[in-house]
Amino acid sequence: MKQYLLRSSQSSIVLLVLIITMAGCSPYFYQPLGNRDAKLGPETQLKRDLLNFPEPEEPIVVAVYKFRDQTGQYKESNVGASWSTAITQGATNILIRALEESGWFVPIERENISNLLNERKIIRSSREQYEGNNNVLLPPLLFAGVLLEGGVISYETNVFTGGAGLRYFGTDISSQYREDRITIYLRAISTSNGKIIKTVYTTKSILSQEVSSGFFRFVKFKRLLEAETGYTYNEPREMAINEAVEKAVQSLIIEGIQDKLWNLKDEEQKNHETITSYLSEKEENIQTDYMGRVYDHNYRSSFYLGANGGFQNYLGDYSNSFPRFGAGAQIGFRISPSLFIESNFGMQQIFIDRVMNSTDYFGDISFAYLANPYGRFSPLFNVGIGSLYNFGSEVGISGRQALPYITYGVTGEYLMGGNVALTGKLFLNQILSDEFDGADSGSFNDNVYGLRLGLKFYIGK
């Protein structure tokens, strides 16, 4: 008994160490165990593309009066009202920095223009007083040829949420995730006539993730071991706005080049990698929805062949049945993007202990509804009619060569690539008589249910 408890304790400790290693290893490198010195702020991946962009023929002088949060949203709070805003109110500073570092724009101070004008008045007054010069002239202020307006116009929370978990014998591990999304609009206005010359908008997802694990177990008599670990990751909203703003500046530059609003210093740079990549992204973006799915793009052709294998079991008057192997093939024809006519045929084995062990054949035709025809993954529901048959012998021990049934099915289908799809199907064949097992008793007919895994091949375009 002591050896068993010792082995149990050792295995529990090993399992605990494994869980901690899997769920909590990486965040321990980032725990605030000591002082953290000030350092330069982190940069986004887009900053590299912005800094390496081809040079302009002449930088554009732009003015930004305000570029702020226009959503009016406040931070979520579980302990009462929160008057802190969900989005930074300093987006103007982010935009000015992105404009300045792009090399394409010369931003001038307009957000706090009153402070600048007051300082210039102080300069003139001081010079007049101490230099005795009443005709002090300061260099003129720059004026902008382009005015930039816009802001953060949307902050959507919980666009996608989900998670997964597993718990067994006092040990559990789980993870959750959430995706929020911000949207930014930026427009360029000609100061000479007030015409809006270009409007762009960008979005950025904000990811949050939580991973946790726990251990709760008696490792010895009256000795309870309990441990837990985990971490959460929340993408900074300020960094998300930073990246969205930089994407908007990049879009404004390239759109202006395409519309000949401003020119490259070297016209041969029109095929620069950043420009071609942006144009390809724009073309793909027109064809996709907010989830990244292609609009009205049917990956599946109008005809398919399939093969599957799995097991089925009997549900009827006897309780001592066991799953046995079954296999089949299918043919389908499309009526509409979501509706198919499907025919299945194959063989099945049914085993009832000390009653029967039969091999029968089946064939059915059904309507199959594809819930997501424009996605690679889609549930598929089907209902139809068919028959069990065994010519030259009996079906089961019914004494008949054919037994009709109604079939119901739920299939998960994933298009792996090309025209090949992986399928997993749960089905129920409700036989229209109670003779399959040779015992006509009770108020319900005999049924066959099971699971089939297979491949489906879409043929043609």
Residues 444 and 378 in one domain: yes
98 and 177 fall within a common domain: yes
Q: Domain limits at 93?
A: 46-73+85-286
- Does residue 439 share a domain with residue 320? yes
Q: Per-residue pLDDT tens for 45-91? A: 888 888 888 889 999 999 999 888 888 888 776 666 667 788 888 88
List Cβ neighbours of 198 (8 Å cut-off, separation of 6 or more).
187, 188, 252, 255, 256, 259, 261
- Position of tokens 């129920």? 428
The reply to whether 119 and 175 lie within a common domain is: yes
148 by Cβ neighbours in 10 Å (0-12 / 13-18 / 19+) ranks as: buried
Share of the chain above pLDDT 90, in %: 36
Both 101 and 222 in a single domain?
yes
Q: Residue 238: which CATH number?
A: 3.40.50.10610
Is the model's pLDDT at 106 over the cut of 50?
Answer: yes
215-228 pLDDT tens trace: 888 877 778 888 88
Sign of CA dihedral 101, 87, 248, 42: positive
Total domains in the fold of the chain: 2
Indicate if 276 and 325 belong to the same structural domain: no
**Residue 429 pLDDT level (bands cut at 50, 70, 90):** very high
Q: Of the ranges 106-110, 182-186, 233-237, 423-427, which one carries the lowest mean pLDDT score? A: 233-237
Q: Is residue 25 part of a domain?
A: no
Q: Considering the domain boundaries, does residue 385 fall inside one?
A: yes
265 shares its domain with 382: no
Classify residue 292: in a domain, yes or no: no
Q: How confident is the model at residue 32 (pLDDT cuts 50, 70, 90)?
A: low
Residue 275, SS3 per DSSP: helix
Residue 453, domain member (yes or no): yes
Does residue 259 register a pLDDT over 50? Answer: yes
CATH number of 362's domain: 2.40.160.20
Per-residue pLDDT for 17 more than 80? no
**Residue 295: inside a domain, yes or no?**
no
Check whether residue 261 and residue 315 sit in a common domain: no
pLDDT at res. 5: 40
pLDDT digits (tens, 9 = 90+) for 360-409: 999 999 999 998 887 788 899 999 999 999 888 888 888 888 999 999 99
Residue 349 counted as domain residue:
yes
% of the chain at pLDDT higher than 70: 89
Residue 225 and residue 324 share a domain: no
Model confidence band, residue 24 (pLDDT cutoffs 50, 70, 90): very low
64 touches 150 (CB < 8 A): no
Element (DSSP H or E) covering residue 412:
strand 402-417
Average per-residue pLDDT in the chain? 85
